[in-house]
Structure 1
Amino acid sequence: MQKSIPALSFRYLGFLLIWSLLILNSCKEDEPKVVPPAEENVYLKEITALKTLTKEQILQQASAFGPLAALYVKNGVKVYKITYKTKNTDGAEITASGALILPVAAGPVSMISVQHGTITDQDQAPSVFKDGSEGSSFGSLFGAMGYIIAYPDYIGYGASKNLPHPYEHRASLASASLDMLRAAKEFLRGQNEVKWDEKLYVAGYSEGGYATMSLQRKIEEEASSEFNLRASSCGAGAYDKTAFMKHIINDKTDGIAGYNSLYLWVLLTYDRIYKLNKPASYYFTEKYASKIAASGQNVSIAESFHLALNDSFKKALNDGTDKGFIDAIADNDVYNFKPKTPTRLYHGTKDPLVFFFNSENAYNAMQKLGATNVSFVKVADGTHSNSVLPFLVGTQAFFAETL
């Protein structure tokens, strides 16, 4: 099912979730009560209370989203930082972190795992919970709607900030997010502040959209017995890396330095993770190669990205001779599967950063594989930035349908 909506200025939004498990052993009145042994945590390492926000405080924050946002605020929240075990891209065990936001609510509530978009500042990591950050703003509001919110930092932020962030790397975004959920489950098992109804939802936009689809696929293929995944909402992610790569090496793009720095970041990340170990001069013209070798993705490329690339590199990709880089790109394609979970895609039709064809190709591939539970919302004339609010509003309504 495809839908089209205008790129209007939505003034309200919503969503988010979490769980709690109680085990009661009944016994006869004339027998001593049997207390089950405490389960040992496998993933969860440490818990730190960060902040408590009252309903009134969140109502004040919600006013920034417009008067209708206040209608969604039901409760206050308690915010925790959790650290947990996961694995780096090389398979080494590391400690990662994220924010866990609990609603102050009496009844059972659902959980939403929110995968954040691209960040370049450590202070923007969800577990820092800095005022004005995505995690603080949206996390508080969505938690106040009566959801438990799991907000992974990803590798490279928070507790693992000494490591490079594996930008747009499918496998590690999925594993770090899944292990965060496993740690959250262990946290909830050991507390009685909130009850989780065991329903899980996943959502994210931009890099978060890509991470969400990667997480959804991993849960469906490897962890379906662990989580009751109810719905997935993916906004403006670069799901078709192969088509994306072909586009930016051959076609003229906007030449915005901020966009190009992200394309450069992906290229350098794949070169490192897949041990391609090519010098910058292999990929880039001399105009940029020495600067990139010294400063990485922080180099400004203020022209169409394809003009910064060596003709020999572009030829090797187009004729298939650079198999190492081509295989690395293909390993990060995430869209070509048949979702088991109700899934909704959102994308602005005029997105100049993460091109619209990523979601269009994903939707078409899923339909071709026989998926009947995938819908596609095209934000008419939407850009990468102004399509965020339609995504958030639509996601809240989509998740509400499956509660």
Structure 2
Amino acid sequence: MQKSIRILPIKYLSFLLLWSLLILNSCNDDNNNPVPPAEENVYLKESTSIKTLTKAQILQNAGDLAAFVSGYVKNDVKVYKITYKTKNTDGADITASGALIVPVATTPVSMISVQHGTIRNGSEAPSIFNDNTEAALFGSIFGSMGYIIAYPDYIGYGASQDLPHPYEHRASLASASLDMLRAAKEYLKGQTDIKWDEKLYVAGYSEGGFATMSLQRKIEEEASSEFNLRASSCGAGAYDKTAFMKYIINSKTDGVAGYNSLYLWVLLTYDRIYKLNKPASYYFTEKYASQIAASGINTSISESFHLSLNDSFKKALNDGTDKGFIDAIADNDVYKFKPKTPTRLYHGTADPLVFFFNSENAFNAMQKAGATNVEFIKVPGGTHSSSIYTFLLGTLDFFTKTP
């Protein structure tokens, strides 16, 4: 015998459903499986898709380098701009940015944080991702090889372009790069189409080499519990600022205006950040002081840099009486730590811009401190530009062999 079930009118069913929801919501204490609240991002602010590149496009853009990397390029890549929270050199909260290059891959992949070399134009910033820039070329290649690439703009570019770039300033290059990694980590947590295996590698050349060593040191000393840092590759960085300073104030250099503008940039950056607040006439002869006061790093100095400096300033550095400037320089001697991470230093022996002794001094000091996992790769006869390919191919081999 079948029982008949009375069907309640819709209005009563709606009432019962509403009542059930009210009861459930009022009994959260009795819920044995509460849904955890969504975790708020601490660093990441926004992410924006920039473009997608196929393997064919990446190889086409690689030019002469395509012949060397064609066997490694395996994935299409997606490029995003991310903005994140960090601090300026004065401790103020600011928004910075960078590019995040993600391979189209089905298996878990590692991450490389690439710190870019010196740029003078904001259009070259990684997050702008213009054609023929470092990020668009090398970032795409390494991404297509199966790595997530975090490419910080640094302060002064991208989202923070209205601020002066703290050129060759160890602390802010490290913090902006580390906070970019933290933001990238938050971004990846919310993704389902890419899986990070939690391994991190860091690399950079020129200012990027200096920034990479700065980042490595900061991770090892302050954030080792946050990141599984596997290897670091630093190319042609000005790691020994004290020795560099002593050399360029006392020795004849090539007198290339482009080189001198970078030395000038470092000097003016440290004067500003460390609040030395000296007039240009304190540092430079009258031939250049008024131009530098008006035009800053755009001033052309086409003779050995030491000839542009006042004798009184050089004397104050040589005899140690200008303690403020000497201390500012020493604060940026980034190599003064014992690396825990497998590390490679690359440098051309004939580098006329960032002199070879920077890597040599760093390597010797690290060995003296007891480091056993630092390797120094010398590029015989290599200049600042010609040694880049050795660095790139060597870095790829190094990371591949350091799982």
Q: TM-score of the superposition, structure 1-length normalised?
A: 0.91
Work out the CA distance in 2 between the residues paired with 1:130 and 1:110: 25
Of 160-169 and 58-67, deviating more is 58-67
Q: What SS does structure 2 have at the residue aligned with 1:72?
A: coil
| Whole-angstrom distance in 2 between the partners of 1:224 and 1:66 | 36
Question: Is 1:114 matched with 2:111?
Answer: no
| 2:281–2:289 CA contact under 8 A, matched in 1 | yes
Aligned residue number for residue 5 of structure 2: none
Give 1:8-87 correspondences, 5 Å limit: 35-87=35-87
Structural mapping, 1:229-268, within 5 Å: 229-268=229-268
For 2:345, what is the secondary structure of its paired residue? Answer: strand
State the 1:61 CA deviation: 2.2
In the TM superposition, residue 35 of structure 1 has moved relative to its aligned partner by 3.9
- Between Structure 1 and Structure 2, how many residues are aligned? 373
Aligned to 2:380: 380
Show the counterpart of 2:194.
Answer: 194
Q: Distance in 2 between matches of 1:278 and 1:241?
A: 20
> In the alignment, what sits opposite 1:278?
278
- For structure 1, the residue ranges without an aligned partner over 5 or more in a row are 1-30
The answer to whether the 8 Å contact 1:52/1:78 transfers is yes
Q: How does 1:1-400 map to 2 (within 5 A)?
A: 35-400=35-400
Between the aligned partners of 2:187 and 2:66, the Cα distance in structure 1 is: 34
CA offset digits 1:348-383 (Å, max 9, x no partner): 001000000000000000000000000000000000
Q: Secondary structure of 1:71's match?
A: coil
Kindly indicate whether the alpha-carbon contact (under 8 Å) linking 2:60 and 2:66 is maintained by their aligned counterparts in 1: no
Query: 2:174, 2:64 → 1: CA distance?
Result: 32
SS at match of 2:397: helix
Assess if the C-alpha contact under 8 Å between 1:238 and 1:358 holds in 2.
Answer: yes
List per-residue Cα deviations over 1:242-264 (Å, max 9, x = no partner): 00000000001000000000000
Paired with 1:369 and 1:64, the residues of 2 have a C-alpha distance of 41
Task: Give 2:84's aligned amino acid.
Answer: Y
Q: Following the alignment from structure 1 to structure 2, what is the Cα–Cα distance between the partners of residues 164 and 175? A: 16
Does structure 2 conserve the Cα–Cα contact (< 8 Å) formed by 1:63 and 1:69?
Answer: no
The structure with the larger Rg is 2
| 8 A Cα contact 1:201 1:399, kept in partner | yes
- In the alignment, is the contact (CA less than 8 A) between 1:97 and 1:154 conserved in 2? yes
The residue matched to 1:48 in structure 2 has which SS? Answer: strand
Hey, what's the Cα distance between the residues in 2 that align with 1:272 and 1:68?
Answer: 43
Which protein has greater RCO, CA pairs closer than 8 Å, 6+ apart? 1
Deviation at 1:39, TM superposition (A): 1.0
3-state SS, counterpart of residue 127 of structure 1: coil
Deviation (angstroms), 1:179: 0.2
TM-score (norm: length of structure 2): 0.91
- Shift of residue 68, structure 1, vs aligned partner: 3.2
Residue 104 to residue 66, structure 1, CA distance change in 2 (3 Å): closer
* 2:70 aligned counterpart, secondary structure: helix
Q: CA deviation at 1:43?
A: 0.3
* 1:293 partner amino acid: A
Secondary structure of residue in 1 paired with 2:217: helix
Sequence identity of aligned pairs in percent? Answer: 81
Query: How far, CA to CA, are the matches of 2:99 and 2:265 in structure 1?
Result: 25
Kindly state the Cα deviation for residue 156 of structure 1 after the two structures are TM-superposed.
Answer: 0.1
Task: State the shift of 1:33 in Å.
Answer: 6.6
Report the Cα offset of residue 60 of structure 1: 2.2
Q: Which amino acid aligns with 1:399?
A: F
Structure 1 residues 206-228: Cα deviation after superposition (integer angstroms, max 9, x where no partner): 00000000000000000000000
Per the TM alignment, residue 63 of structure 1 is displaced from its structure 2 partner at its CA by 4.3
Q: Distance in 2 between matches of 1:100 and 1:342?
A: 24
CA–CA separation in structure 2 for the residues paired with 1:182 and 1:53: 25
- Measured in 2, the distance between the counterparts of 1:324 and 1:337 equals 23
1:80-108 C-alpha deviation (Å, 9 max, x unpaired) = 00000000000000000000000000000
Query: How far apart are 1:65 and its partner, in Å?
Result: 1.2
